[in-house]
Structure 1
């Protein structure tokens, strides 16, 4: 191997510490099957009507789970609305 190029087996291994994810208390409302939320190819199932914890990655995915549509009022005016996919209560930290 030429000089100045390190051998791949001699390359230093650097461990990067990721900060711990913040946890939040959440309660999903309604009836039916548990709420399934996916983030980075991982799916978590959260029970309904029971307080549970959710980390900030799954909470961010939940906040973006909305349906964007347009509605027309009685006067014929159109307005944009966003409807959340799931109903939930998030406890203050």
Structure 2
């Protein structure tokens, strides 16, 4: 990503990765050719909303509504930044 990460950024799952629910693990996982990343609940909830259609602001709004929470923007931006460095996310 060339521009700084912001709430206007529109993330999507990176090429080579596939997000799916893994019943055997009881969690979301990111699959890639070399293996699998087991995600905690928060990471799975954020990544499943990174569809290349919604910006980070919309993802935060959806998460706050889904979990009856407030003030998630800082945490979501922090996770998205880490996920981007891992190449789990790209930008639309």
Task: Give the alignment's TM-score, normalised by structure 1.
Answer: 0.31
Query: Which structure would you say has the larger RCO, counting Cα contacts within 8 Å and 6 or more residues apart?
Result: 2
Q: When you count helix as a share of all residues, which structure comes out higher?
A: 2
Q: When you count strand as a share of all residues, which structure comes out higher?
A: 1
